[in-house]
Amino acid sequence: LGVLLLAALLAIVIAVCLLIALAFRLAVLGGNDHMHGNDAATFPLIARAAQILGLYVIALCAINFVSAIVQCGLGECHTMGYALLPK
């Protein structure tokens, strides 16, 4: 239980830090109005990184979905407990 609580708190801290960073960037640098005319192909490195990160997020969602299905198949739904974790 302690590890799960720590992981949840860490996720909350990371989310808050991301929101603060976004608010800071918006306050200091302003919006992205200067980027509307540019195409993603103008920045190939950023476009490639975004594509890789998008695939990473899709893979994480797929793994999460499969693990939830496996959990419920083992008789314990993912909202009730974790049969896949050692006790």
Average pLDDT over every residue of 69-82: 64
The larger pLDDT score, comparing residue 29 to residue 55, is at 55
pLDDT at 56: 92
Alpha helix (H) ranges present in the chain? 2-29, 44-73
The larger pLDDT score, comparing residue 33 to residue 22, is at 22
Which residue do the tokens 């992981």 mark? 7
pLDDT at 73: 67
Q: What's the alpha-carbon Rg for the chain, to the nearest Å?
A: 19
Write down the pTM of the prediction.
0.47
> Alpha-carbon distance 4 to 69, whole Å?
20
**Per-residue model confidence as pLDDT tens digits over 42-63:** 778 888 888 898 899 899 888 8
